[in-house]
Structure 1
Amino acid sequence: MGRPIRVSIPRHVLSSENPVRQEYLSTIANMDLSIELFTPDPPGGHGPLGSFLNEEQYNESAVKHASQRDLDVESVHCTPLLSGCSSSGGKACADKVLDAQLGFQDRESGRDADDDGVSRYSYCDPSVFVFHPPRTYANENADLQRRRKRLVATLGNALYRLESNENLDSVPALTIENVCPRGPFEYLLTEASDVAKFEKARADLQREQPEDVEVPPVQFTVDLGHAPNPLAMLDAVGCPAHVHLHGSLPITETNRLQSIRDKYGIGEDALRGLKEPPGEVQHLPPQDGQHDLDRIVEVLVSLGYSGPVDLELAPPFRTSETLRKTIDALRTAGW
């Protein structure tokens, strides 16, 4: 038995009736792997609480589907924390986590209720919660370092809120993930050099606090597929809190991309939809990417990382056969 491996599963896939997807999920369970639940924004609801209630309901339904398939949700991957640099960011961040872990029940359920007549109960207990950092339009000329400082405060305040919540069985690690540039946006975490900027932001914020207040360290999910130089990103972070893994190839590598299409029996359109602005096709099986999988595993081990590598495979590669090949490649590389 090697080191832990986790598989990223979008919420809607857990309820899919597609036989290929059902076999894929069964293979994950049969190989005794856990999953990371990817939770894109749900459809908007009706009324002032519609969107909020939908988020909780969609998450609970997805966790229920996972449980029925003997799949443990051990981490949750959220969409960008758009309000993470605002004064209300701490509450928004904590609410996202609570919606992924707690459901609602009224007084008639027989459970103890809060003062508002609604009780919350735990249905999910992930160890890690992953956020994409907020983004801003490049033409806004925003002070990115000030935004990093605000995000550090948001994560610290959210953690305090969660640790004070008696309904939670445990509080997950709150992490931010490096992303690749997209569209007309600027991001707070894309390059290895951005890690030091977050460390400075935390130090600056700490100096402003009373002596008895400690600002929690920033915890990182390192996405090795999105990092321009994954080894440099790992060197900057040190031992990460969490790892996402997928392969990437420059679109100029036409021969290698054609060999991938042939190997997995997929059409050109399938890969065209995976192109990212840096000029790469991403979310490929990691063994087919441009980076040395053996070296990545070697560095993770040398850093003392003992958590899971979380596979983020694009839809064309979410098949039982591809998953088995990918697990074999990871085990051969020493994971």
Structure 2
Amino acid sequence: MEDKKYTIVASTTMGLESIVRDECKDLGFENVQAFNGKVEFEGTLRDIARANIHLRCADRVYIKMGEFKALSFEELFQKVKRLNWEEFIEKDGNFIISWVSAVKCKLFSKSDIQSITEKAIIENLKRIYKIDRFSKKGAKFAVKVQGNKDIFSVMIDTSGVGLHKRGYRNLINEAPLKETLAAALVMLTRWKGGERPFIDPMCGTGTLPIEAAMIARNIAPGVNRNFAAEEWKIFPRNMWIDVRDEAFSQEDYDKEVRIYGSDIDGEAIKVAIENATKAGVEEDILFENKNFLELESPAEKGCVVSNPPYGERLLDDEKVERLYRLLGDVLLKRFPKWSYYIITSYKDFEKAFDKKSTKNRKLFNGGIECHYYQYYGER
């Protein structure tokens, strides 16, 4: 059973598919393919645990139960009913249809798709378990149905709470940058610690510096939290413990790591220090309450990554433009050989910053279309 292969789906924010694909390949998963908003691969139950614990930039990890064409509700019912639900869902399993989408499908009523899918699963399990009523007092099984051009993909969520919830972030001061996106921004810089320092001059509650420290130390992002599938009987009892132990053994505390995070908001800095302590990386980051105009370069070369205020987060274009002009002044004069990486939704960023980026990449931050401007320093 432990060697059986399943089709596993890691869902992603638009724009991060290639990063999650590379993460999956690095973890040794097989037949990895990227699609819009998701990456699919083949793996065992152990790989499902490893994906949840190790993937930095994915949103959730699903088991794909089946994929088929359905043009009528009867066809949808029969095809869902045929899937081997009993392999995962236990007799007392609490199964719910948690998410339905139907884009360019003949069957477009989400509520009908939801109720028919649920009915089909009940009919399947009634036959297998020879019972008419389900207590639903056991482990949770959240089923996702995704329809696109009449092709329906049916999956079970193994993660539970989204993977961006690492467990270190203080809820009082919820920053607008998700941990998964922050990790992707760091990974796109190829920075992994060592001699070159890392600076976030507008770090808010510290998400970017903390994710950078976790990457440098090779701390698996999900190692200190729980997942829905840990409650499922199909997983051997010690599998999750083994995968966590393996992750702990791969952490690297020998490397030099120099990370600086600063912000004009003193309260945010207090929260950032608490968050870093929870994440176990407080010794790798120097947090300071100061204006970015006071920045001084601690080395000849290094990496600046920032998610400065923009658009919805600052009221007018004039303020935003002035902020970026000043940021450009500080970085280009005091950090001439460094690399800079800045994410913003502000369309005229390069003009205000006064330098064209080496390259930029379209990303979405909480549904806001942004660009990640990348300036390569001296190699």
Q: Which has the higher contact order (CA 8 A, sep 6+)?
A: 1
- Which structure is higher in helix share? 1
- Shorter-chain TM range is under 0.3
- Which structure is higher in strand share? 2
